[in-house]
Structure 1
């Protein structure tokens, strides 16, 4: 175990130092597996250390190249965000869009942003529970800062950059990065399951809705069972081992599955999925409040369905932050349900500002603190080296 103030003296390069913020996934190559556990790979004096990933945690050379490049990487989603605004404005007619935005009651931003904060708070509690489960030892303040910086890292295709949170936890003395990767994956799995629950509930007012809702909830339960079904996983891995490209990476996939399975045990899975459902429902409620400004008779469940479905479509697009796909699908759903193009575009812009871009702003606020802590650990490592 690693304390908050220091690093473990002996750690496997392959095991612990493969993750770089904001994006470094599962390591390649590797040792065999016996009884579901990978053999540790111990570096020797002949093992060249040429990659910043493989440098000791806290070393001056390895202070976080990902964070150094983060500002440049944010230019892509920011550019896409500008294009989305321009696209919605041109679709709705800029003058009509401006008129529609002026109609919005700015006082509604208080509850809408509060609901977004409630979403982040619940998900941070889940993050904390998971970190403690895998033995990470960050203080709550540093844990919160890493969680918020994760919002910056999540503005990547499929939110894959959030794996960089594992690197940050390691660099801040919280434990092995590979263990924290399983936490990030468990977050994503339970978020997906939570959104599926909301989509199922959102179909309730539609024709045949109760049956769709029941089928959706049953599907979530079946998915959880399959994810934790060891024999089925072993069968799937046996097939993957025979594939030329994937086969050599199967031992790492099995290792990741072992750790993920621990975090998706029945009790933890129900807790985490419930947290995800309530958290995303809170943002859906905020979306409904904005819609009611333009359509007072808007249905709550249908609004939650619209918001959640648009987010899912944005995620499936693999665009950074779902930009473009989420906004386009949300505006299309609203327009298809009777709102004019200008109002649908206004609602979309307001809601995305109060959710996605609000989270990015919080990540920017937390970033200097994390950067300072990383720099401090690098200076400590330099002092020890000299």
Structure 2
């Protein structure tokens, strides 16, 4: 079977001798795979095509009915949005450059002007003459050519973009700069009023060219951009525009063109099903009828799929055909996968984020051309078949115009694993899936998307591996282990961890499964699988437990797959904002005077109270864990948590450290999370009750602090927030999200609290630790205030602490940095302290509770890790 497939406009004409002595020309387009070096000769397979056969096939293709939904007239392509964003970023970069590097850009413009002065005047005059006519003639000629091809809608959209660009550039040149001289736009001008910030003549042309689309038409592109380049050169030599102005013009024109195209929508360039089926003629196949097999989904990364029935070959009464399958969509001979050019950028931003975030060996290419996608899937299909993996056979590939390509597979009747009922997923089927997976691994082939939609179960019960577009040949060990982790998770989601691991061990062996344990992380899995895991958050943990039961010496520490974590980026930004808030406060203080005037007796009291908080936190945790925990080690864990606060928000770091400590102490993951959640829940309820109680006490007993008491405005604000929250919860999606988060946070908390209530000793320890924690922090803050000569009623200090602590826990900054300082300083100032005393007291309090414990916390963290307690 001949395999066609060119995506370039070039071709090679080959003459073949027809029967009877006449000659017939068979024209085959070609493309070569990308090579990293060297030279390899091309090989061509040519099949003589008779004129009668051509006419017969064209007639058959034109009459072959295709059952598919109506195509939309216009679509919004992700590529247009991405190009618009990139152009806006480029325009902003030019503006920033001319604002901060004026001398450099001035020098560049001067050098170009001097170089142009030495150029032959005849050449410059010729360039000016040609560009004056050509800059408009080339796009107009292309637009007329498109009108002859009945592509008037695209031309109309391009003209709209050109009009918008013309109006905007004229406004910038004549109105904005004159109205705001000396601004950023004015800085684009060189040489006074004879130049303009943007090139009014070529900006509309660039917008037109960007919107009309010249992809695949290299000659038109070369002619048009040559004229634009000559016009830009003319503007430079005539001092009409500067280099910066031309750069701004380019990015502005591109942004307007692609923005208009995305807003209005581009005429649908995807070939219809009839054109796709007609392209099978290039493979020597005669389609009889076809139908769309998938549901249309614009913006998705999935390919279009068509089922095709072939007509009998001429002269063969038996109707020689490919093996016919009986599927849900009919008796199909072929299944066509159509790759649309505009769909190659779907999900690009997500893939770029994954490429930046994860190590390079764990991700594929972020962006592939249509040709590259066709090559990769074709190569993967042949490699998988050669490795002995059961997969639909690739019959051939072909281009479909300039905007799509197809891959024709032999149709295998069956259903996807995702469509099977639970009772249909037997151990025999799971074993067969693992056998196909073993063949993939032995052939060093990485699938990269082994989701339940990529596993086809034939009508005979056999498993097939499909959807090979993201695959990789000659894969490394890490990629193969990632595939195993993905396959384990996919099958465990359908059949449960115990069956998935048991059937995998029978085929792959325990050693292979043990190698996948460090990679069983959410970040290593596909986006679809991570979404499914939201409904079963402890599935990966249960898979690890099943493997560890088979092989207890398995290394369970997670492998480092990420270059950085999102929380790291967020923490850096948050710390920068916090530093912006805190540093001016510190800079305004006289540290020497503050140190000399501080009462060291109260400083020592504050230090003792700060140390007491770690004992209280340890008692609080121990009270909500039915298992016995040593007090000394638990105190060290709380000290280690103070070190973790610097790299995580205050409400997150302590939870993670305590949960890890309980697991290392022999508490199972579920009860460990429930115990920490129970302590957090009781602490939250106690915090709210104390805040309400002391708030009303403070407001009713102290005239000096009535600003902190609940007022009518506060009550109205609280009621308004409650009303907004209630309205938000009426939205099903918001309600599901809140429910899932609360369930994951406090799942198992109630049974854990019941266990604690049955032990009065544990209950008193937990509640006593909770109250002691608040008392210790209040004493530390009160002593810090008294160290600088200030004095407030104790009830007021309690309200100030509880309010600031609530804000610090809600703030996303590490340790509540910035939020706590600001809230404490403001509250203390409102309560009657001077600004200098309040700021000094807050800085001393934060020094003792946040910064001073960092070094001991790091030592405790290192010690506990060495003792395998964390």
- Which of the five TM-score ranges fits, normalised by the shorter chain? 0.5 to 0.7
Aligned residue in 2 for 1:326: 820
Please give the residue correspondences for 1:222-237 in structure 2 after superposition, counting only pairs within 5 Å. none
Q: Is the 8 A contact 1:124 1:144 kept in 2?
A: yes
Residue 139 of structure 1 and its aligned partner are, at CA, apart by 4.8
Query: Could you give the per-residue CA deviations for residues 89-117 of structure 1, whole angstroms, max 9, x where no partner exists?
Result: 52475354653354222343321121122
Please give the residue correspondences for 1:240-255 in structure 2 after superposition, counting only pairs within 5 Å. 255=747
* Closer, same or farther: CA 168–88 of 1 in aligned 2, 3 Å: closer
Match of 2:860 among 363, 366, 386: 366
Please give the alpha-carbon distance, in whole angstroms, between the structure 2 residues aligned to 1:341 and 1:151.
Answer: 28
Aligned residue in 1 for 2:649: 157
Aligned residue in 2 for 1:51: 520
Match of 2:838 among 330, 344, 348: 344
Please give the residue correspondences for 1:1-386 in structure 2 after superposition, counting only pairs within 5 Å. 42=498, 44-45=501-502, 46=504, 49=517, 50-51=519-520, 54=541, 55=544, 61-63=555-557, 84=578, 87-91=581-585, 94-96=588-590, 99-131=593-625, 133=626, 135=627, 139-155=630-646, 156-157=648-649, 159-161=651-653, 162-170=655-663, 172-203=664-695, 205-208=697-700, 255-262=747-754, 265=757, 272-374=766-868
**Structure 2 unaligned blocks of 5 or more:** 1-490, 505-512, 522-539, 711-730
* Closer, same or farther: CA 273–173 of 1 in aligned 2, 3 Å: closer
Q: Which structure is richer in relative contact order (CA contacts within 8 A, separation 6 or more)?
A: 1
Aligned residue in 2 for 1:222: none
Aligned residue in 2 for 1:381: none
350-359 vs 91-100, which moves further: 91-100
Aligned residue in 2 for 1:11: none
Residue 62 of structure 1 and its aligned partner are, at CA, apart by 3.0
Q: Is the 8 A contact 1:195 1:308 kept in 2?
A: yes
Please give the alpha-carbon distance, in whole angstroms, between the structure 2 residues aligned to 1:196 and 1:255.
Answer: 21
* Closer, same or farther: CA 317–184 of 1 in aligned 2, 3 Å: same
Q: Is the 8 A contact 2:614 2:635 kept in 1?
A: no
Count of residues paired in the alignment: 311
Please give the alpha-carbon distance, in whole angstroms, between the structure 2 residues aligned to 1:203 and 1:357.
Answer: 29
Please give the alpha-carbon distance, in whole angstroms, between the structure 1 residues aligned to 2:634 and 2:589.
Answer: 45
Residue 65 of structure 1 and its aligned partner are, at CA, apart by 6.4
Q: Is the 8 A contact 1:183 1:263 kept in 2?
A: no
* Closer, same or farther: CA 160–88 of 1 in aligned 2, 3 Å: closer
What secondary structure does 1:62 align onto?
A: coil
Q: Is the 8 A contact 2:671 2:752 kept in 1?
A: no
Query: Could you give the per-residue CA deviations for residues 157-212 of structure 1, whole angstroms, max 9, x where no partner exists?
Result: 35223234323432x352212211112112212222333344245335534369x9
Residue 287 of structure 1 and its aligned partner are, at CA, apart by 0.9
201-210 vs 292-301, which moves further: 201-210
Aligned residue in 1 for 2:248: none
- The structure with more radius of gyration: 2
Please give the alpha-carbon distance, in whole angstroms, between the structure 1 residues aligned to 2:748 and 2:693.
Answer: 32
More strand by share: 2
* Closer, same or farther: CA 270–154 of 1 in aligned 2, 3 Å: farther
Please give the alpha-carbon distance, in whole angstroms, between the structure 1 residues aligned to 2:804 and 2:743.
Answer: 35
Residue 316 of structure 1 and its aligned partner are, at CA, apart by 2.1
After TM superposition, the score normalised by the length of structure 2 is 0.31
More helix by share: 1
Q: Is the 8 A contact 2:691 2:802 kept in 1?
A: yes
After TM superposition, the score normalised by the length of structure 1 is 0.63
Aligned residue in 1 for 2:124: none
Residue 154 of structure 1 and its aligned partner are, at CA, apart by 4.5
* Closer, same or farther: CA 87–264 of 1 in aligned 2, 3 Å: same
What secondary structure does 1:114 align onto?
A: helix
Residue 311 of structure 1 and its aligned partner are, at CA, apart by 0.8
Please give the alpha-carbon distance, in whole angstroms, between the structure 2 residues aligned to 1:310 and 1:249.
Answer: 25
* Closer, same or farther: CA 62–357 of 1 in aligned 2, 3 Å: farther
Root-mean-square deviation (Å): 4.6
* Closer, same or farther: CA 296–154 of 1 in aligned 2, 3 Å: closer
Please give the alpha-carbon distance, in whole angstroms, between the structure 2 residues aligned to 1:289 and 1:141.
Answer: 26
Please give the alpha-carbon distance, in whole angstroms, between the structure 2 residues aligned to 1:261 and 1:122.
Answer: 19
Q: Is the 8 A contact 1:294 1:343 kept in 2?
A: yes
320-329 vs 56-65, which moves further: 56-65
243-252 vs 273-282, which moves further: 243-252
Please give the alpha-carbon distance, in whole angstroms, between the structure 2 residues aligned to 1:312 and 1:292.
Answer: 23
Q: Is the 8 A contact 2:825 2:835 kept in 1?
A: yes
Please give the alpha-carbon distance, in whole angstroms, between the structure 1 residues aligned to 2:797 and 2:657.
Answer: 33
Query: Could you give the per-residue CA deviations for residues 136-155 of structure 1, whole angstroms, max 9, x where no partner exists?
Result: x6555544433432333455
